[in-house]
Structure 1
Amino acid sequence: MRLMNRLVGAFVSAAALIAGSAHAEQAEAKGVYTIEHRNAAGELLYSEEFKNLVVTSGKNLLLDTFLSGSSYTAALYLGLVDGASAPTFAAADTLASHAGWTENQGYSNAGRPAATFNAAVAGAKASVSIVFNINASGTIAGCFLCTSATKGGTTGTLISAGAFAGGNRLLQSGDTLSVTYNLSV
């Protein structure tokens, strides 16, 4: 009987531990870019969704601004990753230091286009479509999100960066690249 009581007690304790662990929550920042590549006539040439790396500086900015207890309004901008070489992204990348990739500035927008976001739904926040007006033929490898509007600028915070899942895209002068960004936690 004692053995049976011990077994029942051990089973109840194990069940309580397992049941208690179901309440643990984790949050992970995940981003997805969606692109549409159109030619000068407006014909859709290519579209895709691709995941990206939310870098450490981006995660820190999210945490510092949300949990700081003071009001904060972020101005966010999208940039293009050049495809002259295969890009590599690292969690330690910043706007000032990202050895695995370079920015492509072959578009007529005065600066990096501003990202405007819709209200959050179901733990995700999506931008409205941002249009890059391509004015120099070149190869584009991906996109990045940051807090600086200056093309080629190295100040500000890098939030995320990612490469097209389908490989680099050759864009011609007159093409447009429309990009949306969706961040979920």
Structure 2
Amino acid sequence: MNGKVTISEKVEAQVVRNLTVKSCINLTAHWEWEHFRAGKLIDQWEYDNVCTAEGLNAMLDIMFHAATQITTWYVEIFETDTTPADGTTYAVPVYTPSTAYDEATRPEYVEAAASTKSITNSANKAVFTISATKIIYGAALVGGGTAPTTKGDVAGGGTLFSGSKFAASKSVVDNDVLNVTITITLADS
């Protein structure tokens, strides 16, 4: 008897990789300023603002958690040399809001409907008619709460959506006019 024994090996291999799906959404609050004195444009500047955790959480809650919508937003300027950050809030803004302008209330952010992933008030700029000699260091977009129109309010329980210090402070005098256009853009990258 002649027996043959066949020996074989079976090797299997499998490469396992985690599937990574990466999606980023960039949110930008872009501010454009015009500074007029005696009817003449004397300065222009623009920059992007930080969107605060308070503002982003409000946006998520309104869009995805049925929170009450903030229907009107307001622009405020500030007169202290401080820099808002992610943790800056309406109640603790780290800056002193300026009330040195002729308008009785904070100027409204009157935006048009979103288009091409952006929303802007370019057709209805917020206007500050300055009422005293001051140095203005930055601005913020606020809304909601019990007193969002009140100049200088920090106790009304509102939301600070975005805020930023200017690259360079701006000296203003009585009757200077500051016009601001804010464009908020959401884009995937």
User: What is the CA–CA distance in structure 1 between the aligned matches of 2:126 and 2:43, rounded to whole Å?
Assistant: 16
1:55 corresponds in structure 2 to 52
SS at the partner of 2:25? Answer: coil
User: What is the CA–CA distance in structure 1 between the aligned matches of 2:83 and 2:166, rounded to whole Å?
Assistant: 12
Residue range with higher mean Cα deviation, 116-125 or 68-77 = 68-77
Aligned length: 168
User: What is the CA–CA distance in structure 1 between the aligned matches of 2:89 and 2:70, rounded to whole Å?
Assistant: 20
1:158 maps to which of 160, 166, 173:
160
Work out whether 1:91 is the aligned partner of 2:86.
yes
| 1:172 counterpart letter in structure 2 | V
Q: Which has the higher strand share?
A: 2
Note the C-alpha offset of 1:34: 0.6
Determine what percentage of the aligned residue pairs are the same residue: 26
Query: Residue 61 of structure 2 contacts residue 67 of structure 2 at CA under 8 Å; is this kept in 1?
Result: no
User: What is the CA–CA distance in structure 2 between the aligned matches of 1:98 and 1:134, rounded to whole Å?
Assistant: 21
Q: Which has the higher helix share?
A: 1
Query: Residue 57 of structure 1 contacts residue 94 of structure 1 at CA under 8 Å; is this kept in 2?
Result: yes
Query: Residue 53 of structure 1 contacts residue 160 of structure 1 at CA under 8 Å; is this kept in 2?
Result: yes
| 1:93 counterpart letter in structure 2 | T
| 1:182 counterpart letter in structure 2 | T
- Report the TM-score, using the length of structure 2 for normalisation: 0.80
Work out whether 1:116 is the aligned partner of 2:110.
yes
- Residues 99-145 of structure 1: per-residue CA shift (max 9 Å, x gap): 3x211111011111111111212221112311101111111111100
- Residues 127-167 of structure 1: per-residue CA shift (max 9 Å, x gap): 231110111111111110001111111121111101222x0
Note the C-alpha offset of 1:52: 1.0
| 1:66 counterpart letter in structure 2 | M
SS at the partner of 1:104? Answer: coil
Q: Which has more radius of gyration? A: 2
SS at the partner of 1:103? Answer: coil
User: What is the CA–CA distance in structure 1 between the aligned matches of 2:82 and 2:24, rounded to whole Å?
Assistant: 30
Q: Report the RMSD for the aligned CA atoms in angstroms.
A: 2.1
Work out whether 1:28 is the aligned partner of 2:43.
no
- Residues 33-59 of structure 1: per-residue CA shift (max 9 Å, x gap): 11000002x100000111111101100
| 2:100 counterpart letter in structure 1 | G
